Structure 1
Amino acid sequence: MLFMKASRLAAAGAVAATAVVVLSSPAFAHVTVQPEGAAAKGGYAVVDFKVPNERDDASTTKLEVNFPTDHPLASVMPEPVPGWKIEITKSKLAKPVEAHGKQLTEAVTKVTWTADGKGIEPGYFEKFPVSVGALPEDTDTLVFKALQTYSNKEVVRWIEEQKKGDEEPENPAPVLELAAASEDGHHGSSATDKAADPASAENASASTAAPADSSDTTARVLGVVGIVVGVVGVAYGVLAGRRRTAA
């Protein structure tokens, strides 16, 4: 009886787990944007546009990302991605914007990646890194509307903005969450800043190597002590046995 109850519970759990996977899987298939490290207000950051392939019979061959014009970015520099051509579109702003003491009349409004090979095949995703800044200080988020084109000419428009209190839309636009600037006046640092500093990398490797060496030495010492204690214990047991026999 208990075995049957356990079997039923296991089966119910398996069904529930399957349902969770099926229901939640579309949420992981959106085009998204995430910073490498911190995207602090007023600073610069490297952000990755992550593009998964949602189709079983077509490849993603093009990505168009529209940059916000209500909070234009003075600097937008894509990182080269093997197998993709990059086109940067600049446009005149309808209304000049004051950004960090500079009057912006023109800004990057779109970056387009076009595959010159197979693109993103079914079952894979690709990241498209872009260095951006200076990030605005008067908003908590930046919305990047994106278009994803497949090899069968299908276009998925990731342009729907999330409204507070509503459910997530079917095709949500990528949203970058901005962190607060640090109290010491610095605006955070991106992953590329650390990678570009050889001294930092050397110090980091040294600091991570030290504990490993120390733990190895400790392990060896404890191992030797354990062997010695074991030998002494065996010898004591043998002597005690002989004494009992002699008695």
Structure 2
Amino acid sequence: MSVVPHARRVGAIASLAAISVAGLATAASAHVTANPKTAEQGSYAKVAFRVPNERDNASTTKVVVHLPTEHPLSSVSVRPVPGWKVKVEKSKLPEPIKTHGGELTEAVTKITWSGGEIEPGRFEEFDVSMGRLPTDTDQMIFKADQTYSNGEVVKWEEEPPAEGAEEPEHPAPVLRLTPEGGTETAGLTAQTKPAEKTSASSDDGTARLLGGIGIAVGVVGIGVGGLGLTRARSRA
């Protein structure tokens, strides 16, 4: 039996496996996310909202991030993004909240970036400095709206799933909050507001990509083993 057909079959299997890995990587990194993933309760932190463009035939032209009203923040500021206009909106709170600086009667509840463009195959990050982070919850959920040039609006608003449950199709960006002084975070301490841009941590897409590569390698191994067994039987 000729070796050439075997080589071609192995190549085809490897190609299919590579395509599967690419698909897994795309699916894992296509969500709007908050980076870094964690910050310390009671601290100030810089959060980058990472927005990838998911469409091949349209660009992202507007991004809206909703700040949770159940955990209002006394300090919110945004870093300018070249080519984009930003609008920060405040809302009056149902009840005043006591803070270190006094009493908080209104807080930022929505930030809108518009006028720019995220082309297909690209992403943009929108930095927000915020604090002090709440101490009575272990997470903050930031619902987001992504508008495309064709008029489509994707709402990233589904809450994170319970442990072991399947991830929703449009999960909202989540910032996990760790106990004060418990672990080192990418933000600064509660006494210092962030002044310089720090690199955002990579999301869990890397872990999923590595898992996909492992699956692909397994597929190739099974294919090669099957071809070898067939060849051995034909010789027999």
TM over 0.5: yes
Of structures 1 and 2, the one with the larger relative CO (CA 8 A, separation 6+) is: 2
Deviation at 1:111, TM superposition (A): 0.4
The runs of 5 or more residues in structure 1 that have no matched partner are 197-247
Which residue does 2:181 correspond to in 1?
182
From the superposition, tell whether residues 39 and 24 of structure 1 become closer, same or farther in structure 2 (CA, over 3 Å): same
Q: Cα distance, 1:91 vs. partner?
A: 0.5
Match of 1:172 in 2: 171
Q: Which has the higher helix share?
A: 1
Provide the rounded CA distance (Å) in 2 between the counterparts of 1:125 and 1:54: 9
Which residues in structure 2 correspond to 1:139-154 (within 5 Å)?
Answer: 139-154=137-152
Kindly, what percent of the aligned residue pairs are identical? Answer: 54
Tell me how far 1:16 sits from its aligned partner: 2.5
Bigger Cα Rg:
1
Question: Could you tell me how far 1:100 is from its partner in structure 2?
Answer: 4.5
By how many angstroms is 1:114 displaced? 0.8
1:157 aligns with 155
Alignment partner of 2:134 out of 114, 133, 136: 136
Separation of aligned partners in 2, 1:5 and 1:57: 39
Task: Between 150-159 and 2-11, report the one with greater CA deviation.
Answer: 2-11
Alpha-carbon deviation of 1:187? 10
In the other structure, the counterpart of 2:57 is 57
CA distance change for structure 1 residues 101 and 166 in 2, over 3 Å: closer, same or farther? farther
Question: Corresponding residue for 1:234?
Answer: none
Q: TM-score, normalised by structure 2?
A: 0.70
Q: Does residue 35 of the first structure (1) align with residue 36 of the second (2)?
A: yes
Q: CA RMSD in A?
A: 3.0
Distance 1:187 1:62, change over 3 A: closer
Q: Quick one: structure 1 residues 183 and 101, their matched pair in 2 at CA, closer, same or farther if it must change by over 3 Å?
A: farther
Distance 2:120 2:153 in 1: 16
Task: Point out where structure 2 has 5 or more consecutive residues left out of the alignment.
Answer: 198-236
Equivalent pairs counted in the alignment come to: 192
Task: Normalising by structure 1, report the TM-score.
Answer: 0.68
Task: Find the aligned partners of 1:2 and 1:179 in 2 and give their Cα distance.
Answer: 61
Cα shift at 1:169: 0.8
Q: CA deviation at 1:95?
A: 3.3
SS at structure 1 position matched to 2:93? strand
Contact 1:43–1:187 (8 Å) recurs in 2: no
More strand by share: 2
d(CA) in 2 for partners of 1:42, 1:95: 20
1:77 corresponds to 2:77: yes
- Equivalences for residues 76-115 of structure 1 within 5 A: 76-100=76-100, 102-115=102-115
Distance of 2:30 and 2:175 partners within structure 1: 17
